[in-house]
């Protein structure tokens, strides 16, 4: 096994993870994608991150001018205007109209200029944004190939890390088959893909090749927002969860008795059931109990506002807005329609980083599957549970179970430590609710079915007396 090649950090956690440390330092990386895929954004974002850690760079503008690029980047949290012209320089490499018309066009000026910067050490990172468009001004394929290799050899001579962007189709392939040589010339190739599914734009990135280094070849979903290109965290090959024997009260004393004191600290519990079986009530009870103890809680409400949850719970005596509770609970309201599961994952992750909660309720996690690909959504749900457990956060996930749903709680049961099932029971003309514990790792728990009653005093669990359900208030 040869020596590990030097790596250049991208500043993007997921991309550095996939490339096992970053792009090839002192060599060329090609980023291919369709218009709107974020090629310029990701290349500029990498260069700005490098400049802010003391690695000067230069952006060679081959399609848009400096003013236009800076204006577009001003809305990002990493707005580069404060370092433009100093740690991050701009070079207008667009060919003159006269040269295009007369055919008297080559890369001599660009190569000489970049070579001088490399020799002086003024630029150690180079972005060639839209190099395929510039090469397209050359008369034939052999010359385009020769000029590109001459350019890359110059940059490599001065150990300049180079990021090249080129137009591709929605699958991340270079549009012109005649420009395919660019993929062979680059040491690393990253494809940006996009497609529309159920009305939502889905973007993914994938490392297609990395000469001299192993790499992760899986597709990683990403979004473009105020932070620029934000990839979802790729899965880890090893699970690193914080184990504990401490019990965290569920907020329902009768359930605590069944579970030997509550959920295990740092574990994930799934509460599944049909509409109206008290899933939200059990989730809210857990969050309120944690907040009352002084712990920080995050309540993620899908498809209804957290304020509506607060209002609904008041009739059960669960006052989430009480003065001793409300400051410790953060409500996050998300709509599942027209939004990808990865976007929800990123929104939840950001809120976690901002609020640093001890416990989390996601109500319901099955909303990730609404109008979205089941396989991808299941992967996001599993990644979400893994992230929460790796941070030692005690989590309750409710799951809405419907006859025509693609989701079942068993979809993430391998990562869930406890699974509570809620059902309706009907005897004669009376309908009630029932709770059973399907599994609870590390817990000696009861296996019988319990009657679940709701009243203004909260939630009560009791043995199912002669099969007759206890009726009560109707809450989900």
Calculate mean pLDDT across residues 272-292: 94
Indicate the range of 96-100, 261-265, 316-320, 412-416 predicted with least confidence: 96-100
Q: Are 286 and 251 in contact (CB under 8 A)?
A: yes
pLDDT computed for residue 105 by the predictor: 63
Q: What is the pLDDT of residues 119-176, one digit of tens each?
A: 888 889 999 998 888 887 777 888 888 888 999 999 999 999 999 999 888 777 776 6
pLDDT computed for residue 374 by the predictor: 62
Homologous superfamily assigned to 247-467: P-loop containing nucleotide triphosphate hydrolases (3.40.50.300)
pLDDT computed for residue 432 by the predictor: 86
pLDDT computed for residue 420 by the predictor: 93
pLDDT computed for residue 295 by the predictor: 97
Between 219 and 103, where is the model more confident?
219
Percentage of residues in the chain having pLDDT higher than 90: 43
Q: Are 92 and 113 in contact (CB under 8 A)?
A: no
pLDDT computed for residue 34 by the predictor: 86
Q: What is the pLDDT of residues 313-355, one digit of tens each?
A: 998 889 999 999 999 999 999 987 767 788 888 899 999 999 9
- Considering the chain, what is the average pLDDT of its residues? 84
Calculate mean pLDDT across residues 241-248: 79
pLDDT computed for residue 101 by the predictor: 47
- Whether the domain at 7-231 and the domain at 247-467 fall into the same CATH topology: yes
Class of domain 7-231: alpha beta
pLDDT over threshold 60, residue 397: yes
Q: Are 162 and 155 in contact (CB under 8 A)?
A: yes
Class of residue 243 by CB neighbours under 10 A (exposed 0-12, middle 13-18, buried 19+): exposed
Joined tokens for residue 324: 């001793």
pLDDT band at 113 (very low <50, low <70, confident <90, very high): confident
Calculate mean pLDDT across residues 420-445: 83
pLDDT computed for residue 330 by the predictor: 96
* Cα 162 from Cα 29, distance rounded (Å): 6
pLDDT computed for residue 450 by the predictor: 92
pLDDT computed for residue 2 by the predictor: 46
Domain ranges of the chain: 7-231, 247-467
pLDDT computed for residue 98 by the predictor: 47
pLDDT computed for residue 197 by the predictor: 64
Nearest-Å Rg of the Cα atoms of the chain is 28
Side-chain half-sphere of 224: how many Cα atoms within 13 Å?
Answer: 19
Indicate the range of 261-265, 309-313, 421-425 predicted with least confidence: 421-425
pLDDT over threshold 90, residue 196: no
pLDDT computed for residue 27 by the predictor: 95
pLDDT band at 237 (very low <50, low <70, confident <90, very high): very low
**Residue bearing tokens 């990865």:** 342
Residues in the chain: 476
pLDDT computed for residue 61 by the predictor: 86
pLDDT computed for residue 139 by the predictor: 76
* Cα 314 from Cα 385, distance rounded (Å): 29
pLDDT computed for residue 172 by the predictor: 73
């Amino acid at each position: 096994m040869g020596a590990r090649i030097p790596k250049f950090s991208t500043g993007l956690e997921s991309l550095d993870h996939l490339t096992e440390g970053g792009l090839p330092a002192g060599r060329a990386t090609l980023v291919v994608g369709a218009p709107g895929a974020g090629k310029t954004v990701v290349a500029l974002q990498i260069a700005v991150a490098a400049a802010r850690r003391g690695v000067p760079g230069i952006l060679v503008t081959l399609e848009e001018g400096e003013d236009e690029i800076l204006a577009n980047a001003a809305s990002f949290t990493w707005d580069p205007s404060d370092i433009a012209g100093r740690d991050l320089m701009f070079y207008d490499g667009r060919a003159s109209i006269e040269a295009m018309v007369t055919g008297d066009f080559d890369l001599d000026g660009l190569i000489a200029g970049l070579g001088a910067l490399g020799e002086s050490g003024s630029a150690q990172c180079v972005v060639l944004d839209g190099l395929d468009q510039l090469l397209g001004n050359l008369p034939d394929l052999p010359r385009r190939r020769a000029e590109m290799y001459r350019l890359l050899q110059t940059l490599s001579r001065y150990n300049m890390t180079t990021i090249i962007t080129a137009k591709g189709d929605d699958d991340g392939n270079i549009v012109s088959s005649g420009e395919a040589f660019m993929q062979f010339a680059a040491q690393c190739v990253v494809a940006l893909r996009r497609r529309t599914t159920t009305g939502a734009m889905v973007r993914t990135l994938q490392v297609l090749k990395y000469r001299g280094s192993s790499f992760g070849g899986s597709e990683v979903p990403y979004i473009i927002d105020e932070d620029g290109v934000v990839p979802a965290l790729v899965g880890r090959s090893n699970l690193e969860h914080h184990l504990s024997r401490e019990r965290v009260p569920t907020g329902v004393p009768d359930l605590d008795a069944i579970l030997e004191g509550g959920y295990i600290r740092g574990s994930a519990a799934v509460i599944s059931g049909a509409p109206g079986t008290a899933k939200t009530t059990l989730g809210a009870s857990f969050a309120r109990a944690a907040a009352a103890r002084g712990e920080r809680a995050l309540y993620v409400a899908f498809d209804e506002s957290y304020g509506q949850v607060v209002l609904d719970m008041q009739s059960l005596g669960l006052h989430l807005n009480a003065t001793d509770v409300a400051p410790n609970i953060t409500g996050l309201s998300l709509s599942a329609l027209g939004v990808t599961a990865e976007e929800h994952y990123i929104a939840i992750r950001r809120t976690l980083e901002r609020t640093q909660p001890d416990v989390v309720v996601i109500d319901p996690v099955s909303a990730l599957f609404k109008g979205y690909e089941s396989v991808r959504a299941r992967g996001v749900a599993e990644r979400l549970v893994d992230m929460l457990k790796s941070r030692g956060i005690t989590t309750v996930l409710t799951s809405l179970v419907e006859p025509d749903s693609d989701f079942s709680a068993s979809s993430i049961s391998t990562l869930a430590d406890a699974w509570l099932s809620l059902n309706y029971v009907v005897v004669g003309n009376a309908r009630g609710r029932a709770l059973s514990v399907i599994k609870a790792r590390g817990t000696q728990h009861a296996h019988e079915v319990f009657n679940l009653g709701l009243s203004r005093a909260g939630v009560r669990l009791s043995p199912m007396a002669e099969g007759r359900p206890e009726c009560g208030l109707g809450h989900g």
